[in-house]
Amino acid sequence: MRVIRTAAAQLGPIQKAEGRDSVVARMIALMDEAKSQDADLIVYPELALTTFFPRWYHADRAEADPWFEREMPGPATAPLFARARQHGMAMSFGYAELTPEGRHFNTSILVDRGGAIVGKYRKVHLPGHDEFDPERTHQHLEKRYFEPGDLGFPVWRMLGGILGMCICNDRRWPETYRVMGLQGVEMVVLGFNTPSVNSQRNAEGIEERLFHHRLSVQAGAYQNATWVVAVAKAGSEDGHHLTGGTLIVDPNGKIVAELPGEADGVIVAACDLDETRFGKETIFDFARHRRPEHYGRITAQTGVVLPE
Ligand code: CDT
């Protein structure tokens, strides 16, 4: 058995006016709760330190820069790293990254039990649009404020296993999991901020959104024989509602824990990485069964090419 006791730490809403110090205090309270349940690893949502700011339009993009972190850890996040070190707990969380060169990414990191950043991932599949869209009920301006990630989908040896990351919309794309699956990933951790209503089809509400969320995460786990830990930022942020649906899925595609509600909260599951072996050695033994000679279109083209 190679068990990682994994805490999925959902954050309830973060209002625009709430400062990072207050959010970090909430994250530390969740970490303490996870420690009381003997967690080895805690996973927080996408853009964990602030409200989901891509819903707000700034004509001047630079006006969004205060939502970004120029250093990690920085003054506001140092207490979180200190508490993680004190507890000997590994962690992952998402934040908006502004690099010294002035580049903007939607980023998440993996931090080891000693508080060292061992992995960084930058969101590849940015949803939404880059200009104000009056047709939508709410804006989703990730394409305006971030550039697509430039680091691919790496994995890291950590906590006795092989871990990878992705972020929110990435979880809907099978390529995300497969690229990590091809590196033997045993646990994928991800955070998300998913609006409860489709801004372009209001009839698509929270039940359908949660259905697609579970469908995507469970399929990714099963088809790559990996654990997936998916953590929401949930509830109403300044009148804009985000789904909950924080859950932990086993390598068989089954949900082993799901957090009810939309408030701050933690679920902990004992994730045995050896449970990935059966799937990896049988139906999803990639070396025996994959036929990449037929998959060329996956990397050769982006959009659909219709037949003549
Ligand atoms: N944060 C994020 O990626 N949210 C998307 C919403 C897509 S609708 C523009 C998601 O896939 O949940």
Digit-coded pLDDT (tens) for 97-143: 999 999 999 999 999 999 999 999 999 999 999 999 999 989 999 99
- pLDDT score recorded for residue 244: 98
The atom of ligand 1 lying closest to the CA of 195 is 6
- Ligand 1 mean position, distance from CA 167 (Å): 9
Asked whether residue 45 is assigned to any structural domain, the reply reads yes
- Residue 198 Cα: closest atom of ligand 1: 8
Output the tens digit of pLDDT for each of the chain's 308 residues: 999 999 999 999 999 999 999 999 999 999 999 999 999 999 999 999 999 999 999 999 999 999 999 999 999 999 999 999 999 999 999 999 999 999 999 999 999 999 999 999 999 999 999 999 999 989 999 999 999 999 999 999 999 999 999 999 999 999 999 999 999 999 999 999 999 999 999 999 999 999 999 999 999 999 999 999 999 999 999 999 999 999 999 999 999 999 999 999 999 999 999 999 999 999 999 999 999 999 999 999 999 999 99
Residue with tokens 């509830």, as numbered in its chain = 235
* CATH number of the CATH domain containing 22: 3.60.110.10
Domain-located, residue 37: yes
CA–centroid distance, residue 283 to ligand 1 (Å): 31
Query: Atom 4 in ligand 1: which residue has the minimum CA distance?
Result: 194
Mutate which of 14, 55, 169 for ligand 1 pocket (most atoms within 8 A of beta carbon): 169
Domain assignment of residue 275, given as a range: 5-294
pTM of the predicted protein model: 0.98
Count up the domains in the chain and report the number: 1
| Residue 299 included in any domain | no
Q: Is residue 288, in this structure, part of any structural domain at all?
A: yes
Is 152 a member of any domain?
yes
What is residue 304's predicted lDDT score, i.e. its pLDDT?
98
Q: Does residue 308 sit within a domain?
A: no
Does some domain include residue 301? no
**How many Å lie between the centroid of ligand 1 and the Cα of residue 97?**
18
Domain assignment present for 9: yes
Residue 136 has what pLDDT?
A: 94
Annotated active-site positions, please? 46, 123, 168
